[in-house]
Each structure stands twice: as C-alpha cells, then as structure tokens.
Amino acid sequence: MENMGVTADGAVCRSCGGTDLCEVLSLGDTPLANALLTKSQLKAPEPCYPLDLVFCRVCSLVQITKSVPPADLFGEYLYFSSVSDTMVVHASKLVQRVIRERQLDGNSLAAEIASNDGYLLQAYKQARIPIVGVEPATNIAAVALEKDIPTVCDFFSSQLVDKLIEDYGRADVIHANNVLAHVPDLNGVVYGLRRFVKDSGVIIVEVPYVRDMVDGTEFDTVYHEHLCYFSVTALTRLFERHGLVIHDVERLNIHGGSLRIFSGIDDCAAKPSENVGQLLEQEAKENIDRSDFYLTFAERVEVLKVELVTLLRELRDAGKKVAAYGASAKGSTLLNYFGIDATVIEFVVDRSPVKQGRYTPGTHIPIREPEALLEERPDYVLLLTWNFEEEVLRQQEAYRREGGKFIVPIPTLRVV
C-alpha cells in the first residue's frame, strides 16, 4: 500500500499526496508539548520544531507540516486517560452502547488503537468481551498490562495487523479515539484498520472537528502530536480511498468539539445515515472544503493573545497572584505562543502524579498537585484545560468558595 504523505514536511499532503497547500496559522518554533522537564533539565537546550498549520486544497485536510519522529513523541508519554473522570465516563457510555447495538458476547473481539492505560477497554473486560489494545508508549502500556488489559506495545501498522490477526483474529469492533490526528502515515493506518476489522465489523473513530477548532479559535489544539485536523469531507475522501464507507457520524462536545464516525467495509457496511449527508452538505455551504473558511483564524488568535496577555499583566501589576490548572499539551501551545512564563504564572497544578514535580516545556513553570490551590490561594487560575471546564470547576469548589477565580481563555476570554 502506498504511503502517501509520510515524508511530507510541507511538501505533500499526508492524505492525498497533493502539493497545493496553503498556510492557515504559523506558531513558530516550539518545544514538544508533552516534553515536561525535570529540574536537572531546566538549563539544557530544549529541542524546538516548526509548528505551521496548512490546508490541502485537493482533499480538504488541515495538517501541520513538520513530522517529529513518533519515538520522540510517544516513547515515554505522560498523558493517562484515566486521570480524567470525563474521559472514563465518556468511554464507558460508548462501550455499553456498542455492546448492546452490536450484540457482542464472549466470542467477539473488541480492539483499540492507541489504547492508553486501558480506560476504554476495561469497560469491555468488565462485560467479559475479549479485548486487545495497541499502545506505543512503553510506560503507559505497562500500566494497562498491570490492569490485565491485553496490550501490544507497538505502533499500529499494516505489518502489526498480520500479528494481531494471527494472535487474536479479526475484530468485531475497533476503536481509534484521537489517534488518526497523531499518525504521520494516515493511509497506512486506515488500510490497517480495513484489514483488521471483520467484514461485518465496525470501526469507531473520534477526531477533533476542524470546524469547531476554527469557530472556537481553538488554536491551542495545534501541537506536534496533532498532525491532522479533520472535517467529514476530508475523512470521507480518506476512508473511501481504502474501501471503507462512513455510515454514521455524530458531533461531540468533548475536547472542544469532536467527530465520532462509524465506518465499515464498503460492500458490507450499512447505508449512510442522514447525519453523514447533512454534515457534508453543511460543510460545503460553509466552504470548509475551501481555503476561504480559514482566512480569519490567525487574526482571531492574535486578538485573543492581546486580550489574555493584557489581562494577566494587569493582574500581575495589581499584585494579584496567578496560577494555572492543567499541564496539558494545549496549555503548552498557549503558554509558548503567547509568551506566558514563570514571571506571570507562579505554578501549574495537575491531577496526574507523573507530571507533578516537573516543569512546563519552554516556559519552565513548576507543576504541583491540585491541593496547592488551597495552600497557596492564588487570586486567579488560568484554566489551560478549558475543555474540561465543568469537571475542573466541580473539583475546585472549595477553592472557589474561598474567593478564587478561574480565567477561561477559549473560546472567548472570561472570568468565572
């Protein structure tokens, strides 16, 4: 299978191989968003890479131009899905629905690509459905294995599919949540999904929706791990190239706006639902398949930058103490591009123990446990994980009762 776009650093599209690419947003040279530093690393030079977003006029895929070697990104990964209550509930609800609608049982196989710490597959396990996960990050795969979640520690590829089929058979359902955005070889992965799924099976994919990203000025979802940003139009063209049809699609609020697509083998899949046609029609009307849709995105990012930086400087000059919540990848993009460092933000708190005691990449802000908000009592907290606003505000009721306020930067700047 031809790997179109694998070597594309601004030269060719990762999906169709086209060369007609136009710039949407340039965030300059930035460090890797999840490369949190130890204290001993603070004085060492940090690798930085170009972070430029472009639009393919041929197949409508929005993508960044620079590919960082996957081993550098995912060799040791510090994002554990189970840390977020929202993600666990989101996954569990989907699994229960799939088991019911697909009538899965002990003879079925549920698989997940980029299965993280088993946060989704554990729901299948509890229902006694056979499972297998594929997770490239060694430290996270180890956590899944400790939970007795069968996990292959490797990058998903057509070659790995041969071994998966040999060891487990073909899958009745394959989940790929927020993984297509991360892979440099889109065609290789989709081709592998096509081979791994049963003729009667379903592939369930969740990806950030580029329409919501642009409408909500969600520029901070752009970082080196997120290579691609999808529309239904771009996904349809990608999947059709490999004999897969999208037979249903849902819009989700999670992660600032996502798509959940249900796909199957062309000859066997159900007839596409009205949702698919309606979203394709809406995208055509809004010119999502044309560069015009993206023209004002960079301008709105600059307006947000001025607004937030001005607010933070005014608070600092007034003697207010400001912290941040969430040592996330999106937070890294925002802090670095806006030039917000430890002179403005005293510390960041995060629920993940593996992040605590480290420092944010590029900006070198210390990361502490959430309890530090009540101990230090900052006047304001910049919510870097704005996509989990409801969950965070609920968890931090005690801090807010003491008079603490959160600054929510996206989609529009506000204080709550």
Is residue 104 within 8 Å of residue 98, measured between CB atoms? Answer: yes
Sheet containing 367-368: give its strands across. 367-368, 348-349, 322-325, 380-383, 405-408, 414-415
Mean pLDDT of the chain: 91
Q: What is the CATH number of domain 309-415?
A: 3.40.50.720
Encoded tokens for 194 = 């096509």
User: 7 or 158: which carries more pLDDT confidence?
Assistant: 158
The reported pLDDT for the residue numbered 82 is 59
Q: Which of 37-41's residues contact partners 24+ apart within 8 Å by CB, and which partners?
A: 37/358, 37/359, 37/360, 37/361, 37/364, 38/357, 38/358, 38/359, 39/357, 39/359, 41/359
The reported pLDDT for the residue numbered 72 is 74
Q: Return phi, psi of residue 212, to 5°.
A: -70, -35
Q: Is the pLDDT of residue 340 over 50?
A: yes
Q: What is the CATH number of domain 74-294?
A: 3.40.50.150
**What does the buried/exposed string (b/e) look like for 295-307 if buried means 16 or more CB atoms within 10 Å of the residue's CB?**
eebbeebeebbee
The full set of domain ranges for the chain reads 74-294, 309-415
For 91-137, write each residue's pLDDT tens digit: 889 999 999 999 999 999 999 999 998 889 999 999 999 999 999 88
**What mean pLDDT do residues 193-209 have?**
96
For 207-233, write each residue's pLDDT tens digit: 999 999 999 999 999 999 899 999 999
Confidence (pTM): 0.87
Label residue 4 by pLDDT band (50, 70, 90): very low
Regarding beta strands 48-56 and 62-64, do their DSSP bridges make them parallel or antiparallel, or are they unpaired? antiparallel
Label residue 268 by pLDDT band (50, 70, 90): low
Domain 74-294 and domain 309-415, same fold? Reply is: yes
Encoded tokens for 24 = 């949407």
Encoded tokens for 72 = 């550098």
Separation of alpha carbons 137 and 68, rounded Å: 15
**What mean pLDDT do residues 7-36 have?**
87
The three-state secondary structure class of 168 is helix
Percent of the residues in the chain that have a pLDDT greater than 70, as a whole number = 93
Separation of alpha carbons 78 and 353, rounded Å: 10
Separation of alpha carbons 182 and 189, rounded Å: 11
Amino acid letter, residue 378? P
Give Cα separations from 300 to 237, 335, 394, 411 (angstroms): 29, 17, 30, 10
Label residue 170 by pLDDT band (50, 70, 90): very high
